[in-house]
Structure 1
Amino acid sequence: MDIQPGDQLEADVFNHFGVLILQKDQELSSSAIVKLMQHGIDYIDIRPHEVNVQVPKAELFPPQVQKMKALFDSAVDSFESLFEDVLIKGTFDNEQVDRTIDPIVNQLAAQKDVVSLLLLLNDNNDNYTYNHSLQVGMLSYYIAIWLGYPQEDAYLAGKAGYLIDIGKCKIPQDILHKPGKLTPEEFEEIKLHTTYGHEIILNSTGDELSALIALQHHEREDGSGYPKGLHGSEIHPFAKIAAVADVYSAMTSNRIYQSKKELLTVLRELNELSFGKLSPEPTQVLINHLIPNFIGKKVLLSSGEIGSIVMTNQSDFFRPLVKADSRFVDLSKMRDIAITEVYL
Structure 2
Amino acid sequence: MLKVKINELKKGDVIAEHILNSEGQVLLAAGTSLTDKTIGLLKLWEIHEIRVREEKDTDDDIRLSLQFDEIVSKNSQLFDKIKKIADSDSPPVEELPTIFNKKSTQQYHDISDKFSKILFDLPQTKNIMPLTVMANIICHYAATTVGVLAYTLKREITPSMQENLANHSISVAIISAKIAKLLGHPEEVIHTIALGALLHDIGKIKLPETIFHKSDCQSAEEELQYQSHVQAGYDIIKSLGLPREANLILLQHHEYQDSSGFPLHLPAAKIHPYAQIVAFANFFDSLLHEKDTPPNFFAIRKKLTQEGATKFDTAIIDAFDHYLESFVFNVNVELNDGRTAEVVYNHPFYMSLVVRTANGEFIDLSKNKDLFIAKLVV
1:284 aligns with 2:318: yes
Counterpart Cα distance in 1 of 2:148 and 2:174:
9
Unaligned runs of 5+ residues in structure 1 are 1-60
The structure with more radius of gyration: 1
Report if aligned partners of 2:139, 2:190 keep a CA contact under 8 Å in 1. no
DSSP 3-state at the match of 2:226: helix
Counterpart Cα distance in 2 of 1:92 and 1:230:
30
User: What is the letter of the counterpart of residue 255 of structure 2?
Assistant: E
Counterpart Cα distance in 1 of 2:233 and 2:318:
28
List per-residue Cα deviations over 1:48-104 (Å, max 9, x = no partner).
Answer: xxxxxxxxxxxxx959954433442233223322343256x3x64211112223234
- With the length of structure 2 as denominator, give the TM-score of the two structures: 0.67
* Distance change (3 Å), C-alpha of 1:152 and 1:316: same
- Please name the residue that 1:164 is paired with: 200
Report if aligned partners of 1:163, 1:214 keep a CA contact under 8 Å in 2. yes
Aligned length: 277
- Please name the residue that 2:343 is paired with: 309
- Please name the residue that 1:193 is paired with: 229
Equivalence map 1:1-344=2 (5 Å): 62=98, 66-86=102-122, 89=124, 92-119=126-153, 122-126=154-158, 127-176=163-212, 181-253=217-289, 259-317=293-351, 319-326=352-359, 327-344=361-378
User: What is the letter of the counterpart of residue 98 of structure 1?
Assistant: T
Report if aligned partners of 2:347, 2:353 keep a CA contact under 8 Å in 1. yes
Q: 1:181 offset after TM fit, Å?
A: 4.8
Counterpart Cα distance in 2 of 1:63 and 1:297:
8
DSSP 3-state at the match of 1:309: strand
Q: 1:108 offset after TM fit, Å?
A: 3.2
* Distance change (3 Å), C-alpha of 1:84 and 1:306: same
Report if aligned partners of 2:202, 2:233 keep a CA contact under 8 Å in 1. yes
User: What is the letter of the counterpart of residue 75 of structure 1?
Assistant: I
Q: 1:166 offset after TM fit, Å?
A: 0.6
Report if aligned partners of 2:252, 2:275 keep a CA contact under 8 Å in 1. yes
* Distance change (3 Å), C-alpha of 1:246 and 1:83: same
DSSP 3-state at the match of 1:204: coil
Question: Matched residues, percent identical?
Answer: 25
- With the length of structure 1 as denominator, give the TM-score of the two structures: 0.73
DSSP 3-state at the match of 1:274: helix
Counterpart Cα distance in 1 of 2:249 and 2:214:
26
Counterpart Cα distance in 1 of 2:108 and 2:376:
20
Report if aligned partners of 2:365, 2:371 keep a CA contact under 8 Å in 1. yes
Q: 1:179 offset after TM fit, Å?
A: 7.9
User: What is the letter of the counterpart of residue 272 of structure 1?
Assistant: Q
C-alpha RMSD over aligned residues: 2.4
Unaligned runs of 5+ residues in structure 2 are 1-96
* Distance change (3 Å), C-alpha of 1:266 and 1:173: same
Report if aligned partners of 1:217, 1:242 keep a CA contact under 8 Å in 2. yes
Counterpart Cα distance in 1 of 2:218 and 2:114:
29
